[in-house]
A and B are shown apart, each in its own frame.
Chain A
Amino acid sequence: MSRPVPILLLLLLVACGDDAPAPTPERAGVESGRPFALVEVGPGSGLDFATRSGGPAQDAIIEVKSTGIGVLDFDGDGLQDVVLVAGSSLERLRAGRPGFGVRLYRNLGGLRFEDATEAAGLADLDLGWTCAPATADIDGDGDDDLYITAWGRNRLLLNEGGRFRLIEDQLADPGWGTSSVFHDLDQDGDLDLYLCNYLLFDPETAPKDGDPGFSCRWRGMPVMCGPKGFPPQADRVFENLGDGRFRDASEDWGIASLPPSFGLGVVAGDFDGNGRPELYVANDGMPNFRLEREPETGRFVDRAALEGLALSEDGAPQAGMGVDAVDLNGDGFDDILCTNFGGEVNDLYVSVDRDFYVETSATSGLALGALPMLGWGAFLRDLDLDGRIDVFVANGHVYPQAARPGTGTDYPQKNQLWLGLPDGRFDLQDERGHPGLAVQKVSRGALAADLDEDGDLDILVCNLNDRPTLIENRLHRKALGRASVAIRLRQQGRNREAIGARVRLLGPDDAPALEMRRQYSFQSSGEARLVFGVPLDAELEGAEVIWPDGSREVFAVEKDRLNVLQAGGGKR
């Protein structure tokens, strides 16, 4: 399963101090006359696969959210490739035809991609009604593997020198899997899996508007039914046994004791800085979970309700979709973003103290602009490298009926960006400054990744029954007086990318600490790279890394470089 990784090796050597890394080129947004602009790349990118799920009527709940997106370096060339996951249709299902499948695109550089599905061995696989990818070096052999959730059996695909091999008997949970996350949940050095399951769906018996006991109406119009009225499915957790096998640990780790819920989004991390991993799970129309592992029993317990993380500010469960977490206020505790339905705000839970959060979407300026939108994928990243975290949300309604006049909303919707302000509030941007925000589609997943290796984060959004949206971040760092510090981590063992490590820059006082994660948002999977924005003239004292085993090291890092930090290579 190993394969040559010349660029990576070169970078590793660089990080060990043998050579200086090449500076990241700057692709500025000077064309738009602004030093920072998000611009859609368009069909020229080559990302031409429409992630289809269902038909235009979207009259079954299975159709409305089965599309996902991820990045991975499947061929080891150092560039982030793109995987797109589509669903299927009830007609195809009834006819016994395969789903719309998975498409893999090789990154050619310069934001151009070519279809490599066949070359990667993914073209002829019938994976069923697939939903979302999770990408990570699952077996710790140095390359990116692929896990695909589905309505039906989920699939594990291990990367063997740039081709994927289907592993039939591992992680093949048969529920309706949505988002999933790989994280070392038992802190034994390898990546376990937490899987969100949604609901029990049977196309033959699924209720329709007008069925006895079912009134599926939205603003007076008949719409597809659900999730209310369907039985929720319990989430699952799988322990990595370290030998290529996983075991269902849901009972032992307490996940089976949680109330079955409509799980849609999940993010893992040490949110409260206690050295143990936690999980935050967004549930659709039901209280969200904040799961913490008790060291004595090894079981996860839900503390969301106690800490103010389960419900909206008004004490109501919301339609939780996408999630992300980062320490916004610099108090050492991660704050949590959770996107929700139209008419609901996207919750921003900010820690007031350890284990105590208040929902601040209104006071932070995030609430009102989001009200007409139905939010899905979302992330918290510093897109303009000003040292403050920004908020990106992908939007799109579930009901095509939303496009009718007089609904106050729309079916395809624009995505939204709020830039972080110095006072902790956020400022909603629009297409006047960022043409990439003019794109109006039925969006679902979203992630940030440096796809053109220019030091800033670009954006990928997957859209229902449409091609993905690729948004280039055109940032003129010098004009803004800013620089980027990009960091990858490497360590020995099976968690090679140090998922769960926390990095803080020493020197500039305005950059937040970031944790290495690949899964966040909604049905999306990102890259293992952290990007910090710092002043151009900042004197960097280094980067402090808290590795997943709790050990600390300080590394010298350079601005406008990709710094690859190897565990053991820094100062303890």
Chain B
Amino acid sequence: MRVLAILLAALVLSAQAGAQLDKDPRYVKKRAERMLAQFDYRTCLGYLEKAEKTIPKDGEIRILKGETLFLLERYDEAVVAYEAGLALAPELRGRVTNLPLALVRAARLDEAGVAAAALLAAATDDHGRANAQFIIGLTAWHQGELEVATKALELAVGLEPRLAKAWYRLGLVHLHEKRLPAAVAAFEKVLELDRLHHAAAHNLALATRRLGDPARSRAAVERYRAIVQARRELTDLRATLEQRPKDPALLRRMADIYFDFGAFHEAAPIYAAVTAADPTDLEPRLRFARCKFETRDYHDARVQTRIILDRDPTNDEARKIQDAILKLIGEKPEPESRPTEPDDEGAAETDGKPAR
């Protein structure tokens, strides 16, 4: 009986502590964000609906609710939540990029245009301004205003040249306006930024065919097919990883797919996990180093090549990467063999650092 009473008391205390935590806005937001990251939108929505009653004055919670409703494709309700959040915390307007997008998806295009202009005015950096211009372009696209769309999207890619979604939409506008060389250039740019963008490959094939370049068109078709196959495999791998989250073979295959497409940003963190699981396997480590090199994270690339060369001084690929780094940073190439002093075995620690 005493044990039962203690257990009951513990349960009550734990529930009380949980209830207390659920009144802490920071805790609520973190928990909700975790649910969103796990794609558990419905639970998240229920949780936030409760939270907005206990913490009624917190704008961020309303905005998070808006994000959740947006992900649930309940766009009109998302707009209401975003606007309620912004009424409480107007300083967050520059961060609520999905408000005008929700208005677009709800077919409220005039309001979307106004919201996108407000987003542009509130943006504090080029990335924010580029995103706002992208939404202005997207709104104009849906309104059939292709000249306005062209201008806004050109401004977007001018402000943020790595904004693949703006390049893609610009390519579509060019394609509709029969500006085929410009469309081809835009779709090629998308594929440079996002190697697995099947839609860009598809439209590149169409545009090059129309331009009378069948060889290029065939190449784009092949690329499209390969991307579709890779994406299908990645989807399957992700589903399997949900059952076996740390399976190194699955992770390795996933990283290899990204790597083979030159999607180094995507491949790098997965190779980090693979090398952490088996630090002795130099092949994924070499690919990891290559990813770091290609994404200009020379410090981490150098760390990885050192580890490889310490273990295998004859590894030409690793040496080439290392020499290229040294050339880029203006140091002399290192001698063929160095004392083996790996102080940085784990790959995972080096991942995620900003490029240097």
Enumerate chain A residues within 8 angstroms of B289, measured Cβ to Cβ. Answer: none
- Asked if A14 is an interface residue, CB under 8 A from chain B, the answer is no
Q: Is the CB of B144 within 8 A of A353?
A: no
Enumerate chain A residues within 8 angstroms of B202, measured Cβ to Cβ. Answer: 311, 314-315
Min Cβ gap A290→B in Å is 13
Q: Which residue of A lies closest to B204 (CB)?
A: A315
Q: Which residue of A lies closest to B78 (CB)?
A: A408
Enumerate chain A residues within 8 angstroms of B143, measured Cβ to Cβ. Answer: 365
Enumerate chain B residues within 8 angstroms of A306, measured Cβ to Cβ. Answer: 209
Q: Which residue of A lies closest to B107 (CB)?
A: A368
Cβ 8 A contact of A315, one of B73, B109, B146, B199: B199
Q: Produce 1/0 per residue, A109-122, CB < 8 A to B.
A: 00000000000000
Enumerate chain A residues within 8 angstroms of B141, measured Cβ to Cβ. Answer: 362-363
Q: Is the CB of A406 within 8 A of B176?
A: no
CB neighbors of B among A343-381 (8 A): 343, 352-353, 356, 358, 360, 362-365, 367-369, 371-372
CB neighbors of B among A177-233 (8 A): 220
Min Cβ gap A177→B in Å is 29
- Asked if B45 is an interface residue, CB under 8 A from chain A, the answer is yes
- Asked if A308 is an interface residue, CB under 8 A from chain B, the answer is yes
- Asked if B104 is an interface residue, CB under 8 A from chain A, the answer is yes
Given contacts A313-B199, A315-B202, A408-B74, contact A358 B144 (CB under 8 A): no
Q: Is the CB of B199 within 8 A of A314?
A: yes
Enumerate chain A residues within 8 angstroms of B221, measured Cβ to Cβ. Answer: 305
Interface residues on chain B, number (Cβ under 8 Å): 31
Q: Is the CB of A363 within 8 A of B146?
A: yes
Bound CA–CA A368/B201 (angstroms): 24
Q: Is the CB of A308 within 8 A of B206?
A: yes
The binding surface of chain B is classed by DSSP as helix
Q: Is the CB of A316 within 8 A of B45?
A: no
Bound CA–CA A248/B42 (angstroms): 51
Q: Is the CB of A367 within 8 A of B72?
A: no
- Asked if B142 is an interface residue, CB under 8 A from chain A, the answer is yes
- Asked if A425 is an interface residue, CB under 8 A from chain B, the answer is yes
Bound CA–CA A362/B140 (angstroms): 10
Bound CA–CA A406/B72 (angstroms): 8
Q: Which residue of A lies closest to B202 (CB)?
A: A315
Min Cβ gap B72→A in Å is 6
Enumerate chain B residues within 8 angstroms of A313, measured Cβ to Cβ. Answer: 172, 199, 203
Q: Which residue of A lies closest to B142 (CB)?
A: A362
Bound CA–CA A367/B74 (angstroms): 16
Q: Is the CB of A425 within 8 A of B144?
A: yes
Q: Which residue of B lies closest to A215 (CB)?
A: B239
- A-B Cβ contacts below 8 A, count: 65
Given contacts A314-B199, A360-B176, A406-B72, contact A365 B144 (CB under 8 A): yes
Given contacts A352-B178, A356-B206, A356-B210, contact A315 B224 (CB under 8 A): yes
Q: Produce 1/0 per residue, B219-236, CB < 8 A to A.
A: 001001000000000000
Bound CA–CA A360/B172 (angstroms): 10
Bound CA–CA A484/B102 (angstroms): 42
Q: Is the CB of A364 within 8 A of B144?
A: yes
- Asked if A169 is an interface residue, CB under 8 A from chain B, the answer is no
Q: Produce 1/0 per residue, B134-160, CB < 8 A to A.
A: 000000011110100000000000000
Q: Is the CB of B142 within 8 A of A220?
A: no
Q: Is the CB of B74 within 8 A of A406?
A: yes
Q: Is the CB of A316 within 8 A of B210?
A: no
Q: Is the CB of B199 within 8 A of A343?
A: no
- Asked if A423 is an interface residue, CB under 8 A from chain B, the answer is yes
Min Cβ gap A519→B in Å is 29
Q: Produce 1/0 per residue, B187-204, CB < 8 A to A.
A: 000000000001111110
CB neighbors of A among B253-289 (8 A): none
Min Cβ gap B17→A in Å is 29
Bound CA–CA A367/B139 (angstroms): 12
- Asked if B31 is an interface residue, CB under 8 A from chain A, the answer is no
Bound CA–CA A229/B187 (angstroms): 33
Bound CA–CA A36/B201 (angstroms): 45
Q: Is the CB of B210 within 8 A of A353?
A: yes
Q: Which residue of A lies closest to B206 (CB)?
A: A308
Q: Is the CB of B72 within 8 A of A408?
A: yes
Min Cβ gap A494→B in Å is 39
Q: Is the CB of A315 within 8 A of B198?
A: yes
Given contacts A362-B141, A363-B176, contact A406 B42 (CB under 8 A): yes
Q: Is the CB of B142 within 8 A of A367?
A: yes
- Asked if B175 is an interface residue, CB under 8 A from chain A, the answer is yes
Bound CA–CA A423/B143 (angstroms): 11
Min Cβ gap A136→B in Å is 35
Enumerate chain B residues within 8 angstroms of A428, measured Cβ to Cβ. Answer: 107
Sampled A-B contacts (12; CB under 8 Å): A308-B206, A314-B199, A315-B200, A315-B201, A343-B73, A358-B176, A360-B176, A362-B142, A363-B146, A364-B144, A368-B109, A408-B73
Q: Which residues of chain B have a CB within 8 Å of any CB of chain A? A: 42, 45, 72-75, 104-107, 109, 141-144, 146, 172, 175-176, 178, 198-203, 206, 209-210, 221, 224
Q: Which residues of chain A have a CB within 8 Å of any CB of chain B? A: 220, 305-306, 308, 311, 313-316, 343, 352-353, 356, 358, 360, 362-365, 367-369, 371-372, 406, 408, 423-425, 428
**Extra inter-chain contacts (13) besides given A356-B209, A368-B109, CB under 8 Å:** A305-B221, A311-B202, A313-B199, A313-B203, A315-B202, A315-B224, A352-B176, A353-B210, A356-B210, A360-B176, A363-B146, A408-B73, A424-B144
